[in-house]
Every structure is written in structure tokens, then in C-alpha cells.
Amino acid sequence: MADNRPIGVFDSGIGGLTVLREIIATVPNESTVYFGDDGRAPYGTKSHSTIINYSLQDMMFLQKQDVKMIVIACNTASTHAYKTLAKCSNVPVVEVVVPGARAAVEATKNGRIGIIATNATVSSGVYESAVKEAGKNLPSLEVYSQACPLFVSLAEEGWWDDEVALLTAKRYLAPLKEAGVDTVVLACTHYPLLANTISKVMGPDVKLINSGIAVASVVKDILVKNDIESDGTNVTRSFYTSDDPSRFEAVASPFLGRGLPAGTKKQVVDKYDVSGLV
């Protein structure tokens, strides 16, 4: 029987819409509920325990929307909180690290992979381990990680493809160029927006991995495997932010296009008590 409950997607803010966009493209018949925790973003500069608490509250809000699956679109939340969320959830939880790591290993020819992400993601070491695990049968594999925190602000400012972005990218990406990587994982929700600039700096032969695409295909597999696909009637797109809905929509609309997001509501989630869950 069809399961028309929505898929819940959350991120620290608007960046996760790059993942939502791929989910909508891959499974357009599925309803979605998106929560962006803009009021408490960025997560990439927070501590491990804060990221876990915030992520649990985000998940609790989505559970109250009767979702059939939860997608952690945020790389920082995936690296720090996935295990805890998966343990506490009664619906499947999808994270972004392993799909991105596998896609990178499939793409590389010279075995040199770069990971660019927030400080919290890089310092967790989780992405690096996931790439090493996914590539354990490759004869040689080198992983180089680089935190690019200013990319988040540039993406939110809409400075995706200008000289400020280019100068910043040149500075951050110099060590990866030096290392001769042929594949770079965009291991942060916002970075696909800067893909042109990153590509200009890294050169046309370096492949950029947008984990949103890989995640969307995992979502599809889980829907099929668990027999929880929607029949496509009354497909809805709901959006919530913990900050100002009009700002969310103004900054977020270039991410999604097609008049989305629309009707965004404000939702504060710090009222949810997660103390018994950690």
C-alpha cells in the first residue's frame, strides 16, 4: 500500500535545500517537510554535544510532522549526530557522509581525494574515515581535508561566482591543488552553490562530488526497499525555519527556483527536551 507521509529533511539553515533539490528531482512524487535551523546556525563552529542536541531537537520537530523518513542534509550534523539520531528514531534516518564518500571513491582515477567542509566536519575525521572505508580495496588512497568556513557566508550572501569568492577559493584550495587531488567532495550543504568558482580554481579535470545527488539515490532505494513509496497524490512542500521566514525565502529561493520555498513558517525547536536521549 502507498505511504503518502512526507520525507523530513533538516539542515542548520538554508544550505540543505541543495540536498532537498536533488531529492525532489529524484523522487518528485514524494511530499517533503524541510526544517532549516537558521536561528541557531552555523553548526560548523559548534561543539560535538551542541550539534547532537540541536540535531535531536530538529529530528523531534520532524517526527511531529509524521514523516516516514528523516534526511540529515547537514554534513556537520551527519558527522557528529547521525549515530545518536539513528538510535533514537523509529523511521529510517539518512545521512550524507557515506553516499558522498562512495561517490568520490567511484570517481577518482589517481586515488587522491580532497574533502572540503566546515571546521566541525573536518575535525571530526568522520568523512576521512568514510572515504578510506569506501576505498579500502584501492591500491593507494590519499585523503586531504580542508576546512573552508568562509564559503558558507559567501553562499548565503549570494556571492557564488565573483572575484571575492575566487580569491577566497584560491587561498583555501591551494593545498589540495598542491596535493594533486583529482576529486573533491563538496562536504558542506552550501558548497555546491560555489561549484563554478571551485572548479575554476581546481581546473576542469578535477571532479566535484555533490553529495546531494548521491543522497537522493539512497532515499529512493530506501523508499523502494521498505515499500513506503507515495502514490503521488496531494504532493506537498512544507518549509519551516527557526529564524525569519521572509529572510529564509529571500535567501533560499535561488537555491530551489520554481517559486519555492513558499509559505515558510517560523518554528522554534529548542523547547524540545532531549536530555533523556543522549
Minimum distance from CB of 136 to ligand DGL (Å)? Answer: 25
* 76 counts as binding ligand DGL under rule CB under 6 A: yes
Residue 100 neighbours by CB under 8 Å, 6+ apart: 75, 127, 130, 185, 187, 209, 211, 214, 215
Distance CA 152, CA 190 (A): 6
Q: Site for ligand DGL (CB under 6 A): which residue of 57, 108, 189, 197? A: 189
Q: Site for ligand DGL (CB under 6 A): which residue of 74, 101, 228, 251? A: 74
Told to judge if 74 belongs to the known catalytic residues of this protein, a careful annotator would answer yes
CA distances in angstroms from 141 to 109, 138, 181, listed in the order given: 10, 6, 10
CB 10 within 8 A of CB 34: yes
CB 169 within 8 A of CB 149: no
Minimum distance from CB of 208 to ligand DGL (Å)? Answer: 15
* 12 counts as binding ligand DGL under rule CB under 6 A: yes
* 156 counts as binding ligand DGL under rule CB under 6 A: no
Stretch that binds ligand DGL, among 122-130, 161-169, 184-192, 241-249 (CB under 6 A): 184-192
* 261 counts as binding ligand DGL under rule CB under 6 A: no
Catalytic residue among 9, 19, 41, 74: 74
Distance CA 52, CA 46 (A): 10
DSSP summary character for residue 39:
G
Catalytic residue among 20, 70, 120, 188: 188
Told to judge if 188 belongs to the known catalytic residues of this protein, a careful annotator would answer yes
Interacting residue ranges for ligand DGL, rule: CB under 6 A? 11-13, 15, 41-44, 74-76, 118, 121, 152, 188-190
